[in-house]
Chain A
């Protein structure tokens, strides 16, 4: 699943409420007004808060609780508290978890890196194109909007021996790239990059439009090469937009599921942590271990977000970008 929002509203909070109080009413009146405002605000937020609490917060807490149980649906009666045993067995074994974790990290790092480079390229193309901008924008929104499963099937058939056009162009008659670990991972990355580069490109394009033309012209007059202009002028100005784009894509890529499920079902050691988690829950039916994996994935995702926000100074959603 994609991260369910494009980009957060940066700054809505910082400036919210400005323009509400008019003139300078007496202090007491302001207090009454504030009270009424608070009441209205909570009434408006109540449905959203109730839904999020019931549907998300409760299952999150329940998953944490389950992760401390021995709870295997094949042995439903043997269900008891075992502390951190699920975690230690996942983390200490040299088996599935670390394998899946490694695959996930490789897919995340490689695809986000490629997306950043290609995203810049596409953003520049859209930025410099005047007449056909609408056309290009429509074209890049197709991969963004298309159902991930649909796109994954397209790639799967393209690489299926006998059926696919790509395998007959790039492979030989006996090759079946989806049945070998590294070529399968490369195809998964290809599918991921194709699907999500547009998102990256559109965010970068928005940042690119903020780079003042005069600055670039001045740098050119001073003899800066195109590369120098890019590194010294464009990138610093765009840094906030780049970091936000990287943050959201990294969080999203780390949770990769749909593409792998369709392309390989996780065979040939191409499982991501989400696929492994799904297998634990629905194939192995081990709810305790599965829940512990869920919590570990969440911790990893939270660490990524924390690193970006604290380490690199990416704007946290709800903060002003500048």
Chain B
């Protein structure tokens, strides 16, 4: 439907409103992180006195640097494992016929629905008994588990769209099964797998419930949990600046992923929700 100039203006204004509302809380944190400690409580949206002190401060603290390494390592390992096992199961769900498929899907749904807080307590007990408490595997395992339903659902949606007949066509043209798989199926499946990996990574990156419950030291504490334990340079100082700086640092990877892959993320989120 065509729009009149007035309607166009209206939609343009609506656009700006959406952009501003989405951006302001993030810009506010950026602003706080650059504020000089003396101006932190001036209530102004913009820093009146700029400083890098907050960033220098957090990168001097092992509490933060260890947490950053933990966050990156744990999220990447959990994503790789979750997507690998999820892709295998999704291939079976999308392409093969087997008894128990409905059961598999139902139990994946059950796990996705289960309140994570309810799993934290038995896991906390179990992890302490078997020595997984406050270790990388202690967080990787629950993240991987909770990524599996996501990976299975999203990937089976993508896999079903792949024209698998091409594999047979390649074989008829003389390609070996491995060649057909490598040069036909892998390139077709890669975008879906990549998209799923982004969604899973974002989930692992932002988890808080498991991170505060299953860790107790720098050993495995991730940044979202570590921020909650930040204290000021002295006990009379609020850690506002450090928290804001740390928050900005862990938002950077999210911003990069969103900027580069927005189309993919949207495709992944809506995969299968509606058939378009």
Interface residue B107 (Cβ < 8 Å from any Cβ of A):
yes
Chain B residues near A236 (CB-CB < 8 A) = none
How far, in angstroms, from A199 to B223 measured CA to CA in the complex?
Answer: 24
B93 touching A12 by the CB < 8 A rule?
yes
Interface residue B70 (Cβ < 8 Å from any Cβ of A):
no
Interface residue B188 (Cβ < 8 Å from any Cβ of A):
no
How far, in angstroms, from A262 to B148 measured CA to CA in the complex?
Answer: 28
Interface residue B178 (Cβ < 8 Å from any Cβ of A):
no
Stretch of A90-98, A129-137, A174-182 lying at the B interface: A129-137
Interface residue B175 (Cβ < 8 Å from any Cβ of A):
no
Interface residue B169 (Cβ < 8 Å from any Cβ of A):
no
Q: Total interface residues on A, using CB and 8 Å?
A: 119
Interface residues of A in 4-19 (CB under 8 A from B): 4-13, 15-17, 19
Chain B residues near A9 (CB-CB < 8 A) = 153-154, 156-157, 160, 271-272
A150 touching B41 by the CB < 8 A rule?
no
A317 touching B109 by the CB < 8 A rule?
yes
B117 touching A297 by the CB < 8 A rule?
yes
How far, in angstroms, from A298 to B119 measured CA to CA in the complex?
Answer: 10
Residue of A nearest to B108 (CB): A52
In this complex, the interface size class of chain B, counting residues with CB under 8 Å from chain A, is 35 or more
Distance (Å) between the CB of A303 and the closest chain B CB? 11
A17 touching B255 by the CB < 8 A rule?
no
B206 touching A206 by the CB < 8 A rule?
no
Residue of B nearest to A147 (CB): B206
Chain A residues near B28 (CB-CB < 8 A) = 154, 157-158, 165
Interface residue A45 (Cβ < 8 Å from any Cβ of B):
yes
Chain B residues near A251 (CB-CB < 8 A) = 113
Chain A residues near B254 (CB-CB < 8 A) = 142, 145-147
How far, in angstroms, from A241 to B209 measured CA to CA in the complex?
Answer: 29
Chain B residues near A241 (CB-CB < 8 A) = 273-274
- What are the 9 tightest A-B residue pairs by CB atom distance, in nearest-first order? A294-B118, A5-B150, A17-B97, A59-B122, A7-B273, A9-B157, A41-B98, A6-B269, A206-B270
Show 14 A/B contacts (Cβ-Cβ < 8 Å), sorted by A. Answer: A4-B112, A17-B97, A40-B96, A66-B121, A125-B15, A139-B19, A139-B23, A150-B251, A157-B29, A194-B21, A210-B276, A255-B115, A318-B106, A322-B275
